[in-house]
Amino acid sequence: MSKRRSHSRQGAYVRGFTRSDGVRISGHYRSGSSVSASGPTYEQEQAARARRRLDTFYSPLTYSTKCFWCKTEVYFYRDENGGCALFDSLGSPWPIHSCWREHQQTVMWRVSRELAGHRFDGQQYFQDRTKLSKAIGSDLLSVTGFVDRLASQSDTTFASSRKTVSGAFCEIRLVPADDASVYYELFVPADSIQSFPRYSLHDVQAAYRKHGGRWRCFVTAFKRLHAAGRADRTVKDIVRLPDECFYCGEFVSGDSAWGFDTSYRLECSACGGRRQDLVAEEYETHIATCHKRIQKSRRSRN
């Protein structure tokens, strides 16, 4: 363990000189010197720095750890207002871990020290996690978890063809509340990404769709959770993922070409191409024709 050292020495000091045989002798004390170590260790300084950053961190912070006394898996959660505690689990009813009240100050110090080890810089920390793949036989995902980080810094689009324009998406990593060693990779419309700050907690509904031969998971609804018991309203239909094209009603499978329009509605490549090629009046005529065909098809089935 490294320490900052102060040195106190006793005895007569001999100035450096050159012996008759040409060997240079450096200056030194004739008698021994005593060395005393004082001041905080490097690890303590790092933990203190992380604690200061934690105290001035006005964003939610979620961190999984083990209780330092009973060794139970717990979560340290700090909300935007600075209130924090150790919780047995995340989300309602927010059960506070039994060791928290007795050891609150020590917990804060230990958490700060751990965060320093994860390179906490006042905004984020770094932990290795494993990506979860789509479960076999299920296209839907329902999970409570916290945002680990943005998985990509640039926006991603899912156009129905190369020449069409699509709404932009941001990719986030959502860590499930029951296992902090893994994460889901989810796509959120760029105009909704402000609702997903780092380390915030959410109830999320999502759906898998295959695009370009790869399974992607899109957030379709979510609700932000808060430790104080307050929760934002559930936001629904932020991405619309039916099995039919929004415009023409044609069935769209994972193997066919499809994408999103600029309002995040699913469209087939044919309608996407027409939307790009036709002027507004022509496209409105095309959509009206498509809707009439859809209505006629539904009447015939009934």
The residues facing 134 across adjacent strands are none
Written as six digits, the tokens of 10 are 């006793």
Percentage, residues of the chain above pLDDT 90: 24
At residue 3 the predicted structure's pLDDT band, cuts being 50, 70 and 90, is very low
**Residue 221: its pLDDT value, please?**
93
**266, 258 in Cβ contact below 8 A?**
yes
pLDDT over 50 (residue 195): yes
In a domain, 97, yes or no: yes
Using CB atoms within 10 Å of the CB of residue 63, give its burial: 0 to 12 exposed, 13 to 18 middle, 19+ buried.
Answer: buried
**Residue 223: its pLDDT value, please?**
92
Are both 248 and 302 inside the same structural domain?
Answer: yes
The residues facing 24 across adjacent strands are 18
Separation of alpha carbons 182 and 112, rounded Å = 23
Q: How many CB atoms lie within 10 A of CB 146?
A: 27
Q: What is the dihedral of CA 252, 253, 259, 261, to 10 degrees?
A: 30
65, 82, 117 - which closes a domain: 117
At residue 11 the predicted structure's pLDDT band, cuts being 50, 70 and 90, is low
Are both 184 and 63 inside the same structural domain?
Answer: no
CA 43 to each of CA 39, 48, 209, 218, 235: distance values in angstroms, whole numbers, following the listed order: 12, 9, 47, 42, 44
What is the domain-level CATH number for residue 262? 2.40.50.140
Are both 219 and 294 inside the same structural domain?
Answer: yes
Separation of alpha carbons 59 and 56, rounded Å = 9
Written as six digits, the tokens of 168 are 């932009």
**Residue 45: its pLDDT value, please?**
74
pLDDT over 60 (residue 234): yes
61, 96, 117 - which closes a domain: 117
Q: What is the dihedral of CA 276, 278, 284, 288, to 10 degrees?
A: -90
Residues 110-119: b if buried by 16+ CB within 10 A, e if exposed: bbbbbbbeee
Written as six digits, the tokens of 84 are 């924090």
In a domain, 122, yes or no: no
The residues facing 212 across adjacent strands are none
In a domain, 7, yes or no: no
Are both 140 and 83 inside the same structural domain?
Answer: no
Residue 215: phi and psi, rounded to 5, are: -75, 130
Written as six digits, the tokens of 130 are 């494993």
pTM over 0.95: no
Are both 49 and 139 inside the same structural domain?
Answer: no
Chain length of the chain: 302
In a domain, 183, yes or no: yes
In a domain, 16, yes or no: no
Number of domains in the chain: 2
Q: What single letter denotes the amino acid at residue 128?
A: D
In a domain, 296, yes or no: yes
| 3-class DSSP assignment, residue 130 | strand
Are both 107 and 171 inside the same structural domain?
Answer: no
In a domain, 31, yes or no: no
Are both 173 and 266 inside the same structural domain?
Answer: yes
Are both 208 and 236 inside the same structural domain?
Answer: yes
Are both 218 and 270 inside the same structural domain?
Answer: yes
**Residue 116: its pLDDT value, please?**
84
Give the range of the structural domain holding residue 141, as residue numbers without chain letter.
Answer: 128-302
CA 41 to chain centre: 32
Are both 46 and 195 inside the same structural domain?
Answer: no
Separation of alpha carbons 144 and 75, rounded Å = 14
In a domain, 15, yes or no: no
Are both 221 and 74 inside the same structural domain?
Answer: no
Q: What is the dihedral of CA 205, 91, 48, 127, to 10 degrees?
A: -40
Are both 191 and 95 inside the same structural domain?
Answer: no
73, 91, 117 - which closes a domain: 117
Tell me which residue has tokens 């000189």.
Answer: 17
